[in-house]
Structure 1
Amino acid sequence: MYRTVAIAMLAVSVALTPGAVPAQTIEKRIERIEKQLRAVQRKVFGGQDDGEAAVAPAPAGDRMADLEVRLQGIENQIRTLNGQVEELRFQLEEANRRLEKFQADAEFRFGQLEGGTKATTPATSAQAPAPAAPDTRTAKAEPSPLPAGSAMEQYNFAYNLLAKGEYARAETAFREFLAKHGDSELAGNAQYWLGQSFFVRGQYQEAAKEFLTGYQNYPDSPKAPAYLLKIGITLTRIGQTADACDVFQELAARHPDSPEARERLGPARKEAGCS
């Protein structure tokens, strides 16, 4: 299931998103995880590939301990890949919105050049409507920004708001999610996307605050490298380039093999003017 969803999304995302992780790389990692999973299954059920030399079975306790360790590793890799798919999807939605805006602007200007557009003003009524009478009823409590459902369903709802460009609603939804599910394994991702809801609006002070909160509260999250990258970028945007370079150095030291360090750190350091 993970492989089908990941490859389907990445095949589209990588084609349209500049600087994205190559689909072949993600697919190979997924295939490697599946191979590891099959190896674990063979170990549990006693099967072996054709031509594989028979070995003496390990004690049951050792086999179960090894199984648990390997399964945890696979789960961690799947969470990391899911986070990369989310990032690619978000970048794709942003690119699509920019493209749609560019097309609309181009069509409008082309129409002006051809003389095909005329200034229009909305029709107004002869008499202005009377002001509405004040509502003296007791104000009702504001509805929750999240629908009823599981933590995963509520997380997906908030993320979809962000992907659709409804940044203010996404901000509110992610705050509500974190208030309800702060100890969920999705909380680290939710905090990251909360920061991103400010970042895409150019509110870099607030974005830096939320990214820093996420890195402090969820240092072991798969989003930890992304937190550091975005902290550095937001510091650059608000003029604190020396601090930004320190953060980039920490990213390179702590997560040298992450996509953020391998593919995005160089341009970010260049923007900050790091030596």
Structure 2
Amino acid sequence: MKSILLPALVTSLSASLLCAVPATAQNRNVDKRVERLEQEMRAVQRKVFPGGSSRFFEPDIRPDAAAPATTSTTTSAVSDLITRVDALERSLANLTGQVEQNDFRIKQIEDKMAAATTTAPDPLAAPSSGTAGTETLTAETSSTASAPDPERVTGVASIIMPETGDDGEDAYIYGYRLWAEKYYPEAQTQLKKAAADHPGHRRASFAKNLLGRAYLDDGKPALAAIALYENYQELPRGERAPDSLYFLSTALVQLNKKTEACQTLSELEDVYPSVATGRLSARVARGKGAADCN
């Protein structure tokens, strides 16, 4: 991106600088102006230093014709020359300032471009053998939220949080209801809040597991893998820790990491044998088929 934009910036800068120089200055021959200025300087020098050596001054004025110049003539010529040099210096200073300002603007644009082209994190890091995920799991970058849909806002507002007196239970059930109605982003927010606000509640394991499922249903398998692995790691005795390992294998299959998915299912069978052969037996069999486990 940078290589395409910079030539256009340079062209724009060149045009702006040309516009900054007066039209008369563009149409004059710089070499002729410098030559004329040097000739005038020589003339002034001859008047200030009459009879100077021809080694330094051209013999366009005869030595015998040279006469001491009056103070007023000398002062007038020098003043005129100083005025013209001052004008040239002011023009150069103005042009230099414009160049510096444009350089600064280009630097700002390049910095913004560099920030905009920062690459997103790599996909999920694979769990190591026999541990179902000792390596760090990298989150997917979330897409930019679109403007709220009035119909969606109304639908979410229609889902009421229960009030049973058990805040942990009510927080989880509200997240579950949002998920069941397929309001996945809202469910994710609520389930994260439920687990964070009630970490010691039995429903914390449920909330973290359902959070992973909400990410899966929302098409975000890398975020799902993070939430599910964290539930298994942080709450291994939680009621939904075995389920999180199963859904973690599902997320890994979606991320084209079938070998790691098989390792995760093996971990499930080793750590929770009774659940793997009982309540989750059908899911474990489907998971092995999806991951092409031997």
TM-score by length of 2: 0.42
TM-score by length of 1: 0.45
- Work out which of the two has the higher radius of gyration on C-alpha atoms and give 1 or 2: 2
